[in-house]
Amino acid sequence: MLRWVAALVTVAQAAAGACAARPCDGVDTALSPGRRRDYARLVASAVTTHVDPSAVHFRTFMASGSWSAIYAAMPGSEDGVFFFQDSNGQQRFREVWGGWADPSDKPELTRRARQLGAPADLAACFADVVTRH
């Protein structure tokens, strides 16, 4: 009986450790109606073609510190992750990532986001999100 209890405790601890290690833990992923409206305009203005903000669809929102990233879809464009940095209260478009990635690409994606200036937690979350979708 004691071994069985010890085995259950070990399994529970392993599960708790796995849950604590999710790449987006600590990253703000709440997309309120106000954020949805504001970021739809930002994403629409960041592309070179005319896109109505109401046509922007969000897959994932991620924010950490002064940085945010939005995985978005819109008509006539490939899905992409749009990176923004807050500068004196204004969100400034920094870069867009588009394409397809698999889990082996995570280190490169994280490095790229870090080189852009994104915080480590946002970079890891971005890499995880785009390799799962």
Would residue 76 count as lying in a domain? yes
Would residue 58 count as lying in a domain? yes
Would residue 8 count as lying in a domain? no
- Structural domain for 108, as ranges: 26-132
pLDDT higher than threshold 60 for residue 125: yes
Residue 25 in tokens: 């833990």
pTM: 0.82
Residue 23 in tokens: 């790449």
Please tell me the total count of domains within the chain.
1
pLDDT higher than threshold 80 for residue 19: no
CA-to-CA dists, residue 61 to 33, 39, 83, 90, 106, angstroms: 12, 9, 10, 17, 18
Would residue 39 count as lying in a domain? yes
> Could you tell me the pLDDT band of residue 9, with boundaries at 50, 70 and 90?
very low
Would residue 94 count as lying in a domain? yes
- Distance from chain centroid for Cα 40: 16
Would residue 113 count as lying in a domain? yes
pLDDT value for 49? 87
pLDDT per residue over 39-90, tens digit each?
A: 999 999 999 888 999 999 999 999 999 999 999 999 888 899 999 999 999 9
Would residue 10 count as lying in a domain? no
pLDDT per residue over 90-107, tens digit each?
A: 999 999 999 889 999 999
